[in-house]
Amino acid sequence: MSAEPMMTDQSQITEDDVRRIVKEELGTALKKDPGMRTGAIVASKGTLDWAYPPLILASAAAAVGMDVAIFFTFYGLNIVHKDFERKLKVDAVGNPAMPMPVPMPDLVTAMPGMVSVTSRMMKKKFSDKKVATVGELLDTCREMDVRLIACQMTVDVFGYEQSDFLEGVEFGGAAAFMADARKSNLTLFI
């Protein structure tokens, strides 16, 4: 065959070599894929329990080398409000998953003052287990360069001012979020 001289010239390169090289090159190319390094998270809930997932996941994504943005909309605005400590609460009413020390009927959990009891209970449970506070997680997110974007439309709807929000919070709309999200392999709606 005419290919034979070529074979002798390149006898060093085996099929295994080719497979290995292709795999390495593909791996390098995929690593450079911006989609793998970009994440876009929507935080739509404004209760104490739901403040944790977006902040934890965003900081973890940043720790594995991703550029992440959290888009806070509707009740999610509570998380980046300057008064988040007071605004973020958790209620046992309508939340049968909430673990209570003793079983309580809704009539009891619906009594005035119970929201602050359940909120304090959850905060204590978390601090007993040495889970970071929402404030600490927000600080971590900022240290990790997670972008915190408040939805301008809901800011207006709820009658907030931009100055009501934590330092470093940006303001944007749905299209700005989508422009980021379409480039991200990771998009979460929380």
Partner 1 sequence: MSETTEDVLVDARELMCPMPVMAATKAARRMEPGQLMKVMATDKGALSDIPAWADANGHEVVSQTQEGNDLVFMIRTGEPD
* Interface residue list for partner 1 (CB under 8 A): 31, 56, 59-60, 62-65, 129-132, 136, 140, 143-144
Residue 117 CA: distances (Å) to CA of 51, 52, 92, 112, 152: 18, 19, 10, 10, 32
Closest distance to partner 1 from the beta carbon of 104 (Å): 27
Question: Which is nearer to partner 1, 106 or 145 (by Cβ)?
Answer: 145
Nearest to 63 by CA among 148, 137, 165, 170: 137
Q: Which amino acid is at 149?
A: I
Q: Which amino acid is at 77?
A: L
Residue 190 CA: distances (Å) to CA of 44, 59, 182: 6, 15, 17
Question: Which is nearer to partner 1, 24 or 136 (by Cβ)?
Answer: 136
Closest distance to partner 1 from the beta carbon of 39 (Å): 13
Closest distance to partner 1 from the beta carbon of 34 (Å): 13
Question: Which is nearer to partner 1, 12 or 28 (by Cβ)?
Answer: 28
Q: Is 113 exposed, middle or buried (0-12, 13-18, 19+ CB in 10 A)?
A: exposed
Residues in the chain: 190
Closest distance to partner 1 from the beta carbon of 53 (Å): 11
Question: Which is nearer to partner 1, 31 or 183 (by Cβ)?
Answer: 31
